[in-house]
Homo-oligomer: A and B are copies of this chain.
Amino acid sequence: MDIGTFRKHGHEFVDWIADYLRDIESFPVLSLAKPGDTRGRLPGVPPEAAEPVDRIFADFKDVVLPGITHWQHPGWHAYFPANNSPASILAEMLTAGLGAQCMVWQTSPAAAELEDLTLDWLRQLLGLPPGFVGTIQDTASTATLCALVSARERASDFGVNEEGFGRPLVVYASREAHSSVEKGAKVAGFGRRNVRFIETDENFALVPAALEEAVARDEAAGLQPACVVATLGTTSSTAVDPLRAVGETAARHGLWLHVDAAYAGTAALCPENRWFLDGVELADSFVFNPHKWMLTNFDCSAYFVKDPGTLIRSFEIHPEYLKTGVDPCVKNYRDWGIQLGRRFRALKLWFVIRSYGAEGLRAMVREHQRLARLFKGWVEAEPDFELLAPVPFGLVCFRWNDGRRAEDELDAFNKSLLERINSSGRFYLTHTALRGKFALRMVVGQRTTEERHVRAAWEAVASAARELGRP
């Protein structure tokens, strides 16, 4: 493809993206495709000859697009959001055009330094302690794995990297912690039986006394506690573990304290939300995802550590072919995580922060929180609905409950309710289990979601429940 052809289609694609963003409400938020629909319409063998972009783009619109679930739709209330934004899309275009691979400083000095800078901007914007140093990871799963490996190495005096596991090392997290904690503990070789899932209170937050007890029990049994993960904003219900109390136990027993604020970290942009960071100075590592609620295209996970030396010592490699003359005086991020190769992801973060400004980002968070509280109020005001968890951020967990049915009937009813709402194509909510109860999760966090969308979602929920509840 020559430059002229690229230019022509580039303009065409920009217009398509702009139209897509403008018209996104006209698409069903949750794809209506059935398994096999996309693949079944495409040839099973690769083309021998080159095809023109027009033909590929036509297939994109006709075959691929109907199989896309539209994460940027204002009716997106599922999981957590993965917001992009016009500023972030523009930056992603430049990143793709440059095609720089930023494994070491020398392979793109500006990428390394912009990462250093924007992560420090983020640290300031969230009110994290001055000593914290950040790097971009792809996802919170990877960041948590990095934390677990760092914890493992500190606990073993860097012995596992060298010798493999000697005695078992133990990891602690609440029952409500994200599945990536268990997954990371498995990948890093701890073993699932060495992960303690600590009980939670009525608000789904870790009970610190139970943590203290579990650590003491393991110590008494000759096991070595290595790491505790505190979750600020759990995936099921955005519960907030008591960070200071967890941190004090960590400090008392020499545990690595990793903070998983993957979703809720963005809320700390607003000073009035920072109550949940109380005790964060006790943390060894902290992760939150600008690619969730902070308008930055997936993937972009911000991982902060108190002591980069431990991180680097856990992950560094020094083959001859990667050595450069400036190594002693620069940050080579290849040694700050799992991957060697790295995309230029700082650019989109820099574009987003500058394009919105701290003010603009805070305004978005506040509006989403206001809308979530509004929805919560409607749930509480309706006798046949029940709120199932506190609403500290943008997630409302609730269910229909007329008070006259058994739990298994309620589960079945609410499952049907969810299916009915999602099949409209206008809204996409997901579910979880809270104390065994089937709960609907309604997240307000999409950039384009306005009060009218949240109101329409509630009306759809209420009317679907009425229809389903009719004898």
Given the known interface contacts A86-B1, A339-B138, the answer about A98 and B68 at a Cβ–Cβ threshold of 8 Å is yes
A116 touches B39 (CB 8 A): yes
**Shortest Cβ distance from residue A422 to the other chain B in the assembled complex, whole angstroms:** 10
**Shortest Cβ distance from residue A449 to the other chain B in the assembled complex, whole angstroms:** 14
B53 touches A339 (CB 8 A): no
Q: How many angstroms from the CA of A11 to the CA of B83 in the assembled complex?
A: 22
Instruction: Judge if A30 is at the interface, Cβ distance under 8 Å.
Output: yes
- Majority SS at the chain A contact face: helix
A109 touches B326 (CB 8 A): no
B179 touches A191 (CB 8 A): no
Q: How many angstroms from the CA of A13 to the CA of B98 in the assembled complex?
A: 12
B187 touches A338 (CB 8 A): yes
Instruction: Judge if A414 is at the interface, Cβ distance under 8 Å.
Output: no
- Which among A118-126, A241-249, A369-377 touches the partner chain? A118-126
- Which among A158-166, A208-216, A380-388, A451-459 touches the partner chain? A158-166
Instruction: List the B side residues contacting A441 at CB < 8 Å.
Output: 321
Given the known interface contacts A68-B100, A96-B93, the answer about A42 and B117 at a Cβ–Cβ threshold of 8 Å is yes
B68 touches A110 (CB 8 A): yes
Instruction: Judge if A378 is at the interface, Cβ distance under 8 Å.
Output: no
A69 touches B340 (CB 8 A): no
Selected from B108, B299, B330, the residue in CB contact (under 8 A) with A341 is B299
Selected from B35, B187, B350, the residue in CB contact (under 8 A) with A105 is B35
* Contact-residue bracket for chain A: 35 or more
Instruction: List the B side residues contacting A152 at CB < 8 Å.
Output: 189
Instruction: Judge if A307 is at the interface, Cβ distance under 8 Å.
Output: no
A10 touches B14 (CB 8 A): yes
**Shortest Cβ distance from residue A138 to the other chain B in the assembled complex, whole angstroms:** 6
Q: In chain B, what residue has the closest Cβ to A178?
A: B319
Within 8 A of B (CB), among A93-109: 93-101, 105-109
Instruction: List the B side residues contacting A44 at CB < 8 Å.
Output: 117, 120
Instruction: Judge if A406 is at the interface, Cβ distance under 8 Å.
Output: no
Within 8 A of B (CB), among A422-465: 430-433, 441
Instruction: Judge if A389 is at the interface, Cβ distance under 8 Å.
Output: no
A36 touches B113 (CB 8 A): yes
- Which among A198-206, A253-261, A274-282, A357-365 touches the partner chain? A357-365
Q: Report the copy number of this chain in the oligomer.
A: 2
Q: How many angstroms from the CA of A93 to the CA of B21 in the assembled complex?
A: 13
A165-190 vs B: 1/0 string, CB under 8 Å?
A: 10011000000001110110011111
A341 touches B139 (CB 8 A): yes
Selected from B86, B100, B318, B432, the residue in CB contact (under 8 A) with A6 is B86
Given the known interface contacts A20-B97, A38-B114, A192-B162, the answer about A109 and B355 at a Cβ–Cβ threshold of 8 Å is no
Instruction: List the B side residues contacting A193 at CB < 8 Å.
Output: 162-164
Selected from B120, B164, B359, the residue in CB contact (under 8 A) with A189 is B164
Instruction: Judge if A236 is at the interface, Cβ distance under 8 Å.
Output: yes
Instruction: Judge if A31 is at the interface, Cβ distance under 8 Å.
Output: yes
Instruction: List the B side residues contacting A85 at CB < 8 Å.
Output: 1
Instruction: List the B side residues contacting A90 at CB < 8 Å.
Output: 6, 9-10, 13, 53
Instruction: Judge if A89 is at the interface, Cβ distance under 8 Å.
Output: yes
Q: How many angstroms from the CA of A236 to the CA of B141 in the assembled complex?
A: 32
Given the known interface contacts A99-B82, A113-B38, the answer about A107 and B14 at a Cβ–Cβ threshold of 8 Å is no
B10 touches A117 (CB 8 A): no
Within 8 A of B (CB), among A311-338: 314-315, 317-322, 326, 329-330, 338
Instruction: Judge if A56 is at the interface, Cβ distance under 8 Å.
Output: yes
A430 touches B321 (CB 8 A): yes
**Shortest Cβ distance from residue A81 to the other chain B in the assembled complex, whole angstroms:** 9
B359 touches A48 (CB 8 A): yes
A15-31 vs B: 1/0 string, CB under 8 Å?
A: 11110111000000011
Instruction: List the B side residues contacting A321 at CB < 8 Å.
Output: 79, 235-236, 430-433, 441
